[in-house]
Amino acid sequence: MKSAETGKNIKKAASILKTEGIVAIPTETVYGLAANIFSKKAVNKIYKIKNRPKSNPLIVHVESIDKAKELVKSFPVTATLLAENFWPGPLTLILPKNNNVGPWITAGENTVAIRIPKHSLTLKLLKQTGFPLAAPSANPFKYISPVTAAQVKKMLGDKIEYILDGGKCKKGIESTIVEVKGDKVNLLRSGAITAEQIEKVLGYSLTNTGKKTRSHPGMFKKHYSPHTPLLVTTDVMKSYFENKGKKVAVISFQRKYPLPRNIIQIILNKQGIMEKAAANLYDSLHRLDSGQYDLIIAEKAPELGIGKAINERLKKASA
Ligand code: TXA
Ligand code: MG
């Protein structure tokens, strides 16, 4: 019964995508707003719905390494190594594009961002459509990315034809983005896969030139942010006392702080498990951004592993 329903939903999503429509899709990281990469008209709808600047290129989602190879000029040995180790999964590779990829995907850049998402519904959907899907996160530009279908519905429900509900996203934070140039791998955005994990596979260090290209994923100072002001701190109690006149809510990383009982306190993960804390971050921000609070106080994560991705998001969310 349940799988029959799932089959019906995937069929519906595929038929909308085949007729140049937009569908919100689940991935292991966050929900995406998907369109057929070969339809300029459909892809333009994504920019309009998100209110996203046309200068910001999109990630292409494919179902296999072979499909990825159809989109690029070359797929270096290093890219194969990373793809074989991390795909399907939250690693996006930036590679030189070929003519199968229109400029409407890449904002005119000569590179394209590609990944195979790890979500059974979306992998089935990609098989059914037969074409790759361009998909940015399914949030209005600069807002927090959604990790449930309900969050997509709340933000964009009146603007999109269909949301393929695949449950809560397991990673809850965006993919890591690296640019592959020969054997050089440049980290452009921290994400669900840590630099250490990638370096272990490569056997050498990532480079991060810090060079900001036009489409560099770090180019927007403010991003991933709630409507409620957000304060990032290493000292929750101090920040609480400094803002005592305000209605505050607290997101702490691991500890429960001795705050008055009427203060809402979300603990990202009591055991301090980084991956689990990351998976709860956007969900917690969505929950607290309901207009009830003057300020959200969020505790910085330890600056290691996926903590770096958490802190990068918190910094931009509070800008
Ligand atoms: O986990 C994810 O990556 C999610 C899911 C839906 O796959 N997608 C996502 O997309 O986070 P978006 O659009 O929110 O972020 C993609 C980032 C943007 O900052 C964009 O600038 C960068 O990727 N990007 C895309 N193509 C690029 C390229 N050719 N060169 C450099 N950066 C690129
Ligand atoms: Mg995004």
pLDDT tens-digit readout, 292-314 = 999 999 999 999 999 999 999 99
Closest C-alpha among 103, 271, 310 to residue 192 = 310
Q: What pLDDT is recorded for position 319?
A: 87
pLDDT of residue 222: 76
What does the buried/exposed string (b/e) look like for 18-29 if buried means 16 or more CB atoms within 10 Å of the residue's CB? Answer: eebbbbbbbbbb
Instruction: Work out the average pLDDT over 116-128.
Output: 98
Distance 5 CA to ligand 2 centre (A): 29
pLDDT band at 1 (very low <50, low <70, confident <90, very high): very low
Would you place residue 217 in the very low, low, confident or very high pLDDT band (cuts 50, 70, 90)?
low
Q: Tell me, in angstroms, the distance from the centre of ligand 1 to residue 142's CA.
A: 13
Local confidence band at 197 (pLDDT 50, 70, 90 cut-offs): very high
| Mean pLDDT over each residue of the chain, to the nearest integer | 95
Instruction: Please name which ligand lies nearest the alpha carbon of 56.
Output: 1
Q: Which residues of 167-203 are buried (b: 16+ CB within 10 A; e: fewer)?
A: eebbbbbbbbbbbbbeeebbbbbbbbbbbebbeeebe
Looking at residues 190-208, what average pLDDT do you find? 96
Ligand 2: centre distance to CA 308 (Å): 17
For ligand 1, atom 12, which residue shows the shortest CA distance? Answer: 136
Q: Which of 70-74, 213-217, 223-227, 259-263 has the lowest mean pLDDT?
A: 213-217
Residue with the smallest CA separation from ligand 1 atom 22 is 217
Residues with a CB atom less than 6 Å from ligand 1: 27, 29-30, 32, 56-59, 90, 92, 94, 106, 109, 111-113, 117, 135-137, 174-175, 177, 188, 215, 217
How far is Cα 101 from Cα 247, in angstroms, rounded to an integer?
49
Ligand 1 pocket test, candidate residues 59, 178, 213, most atoms within 8 A of CB? 59
The pTM of this model reads 0.96
* pLDDT of res. 210: 57
Task: Pick the ligand that lies closest to the CA of residue 189.
Answer: 1
Query: pLDDT per residue over 148-158, tens digit each?
Result: 999 999 999 99
pLDDT at 216: 57
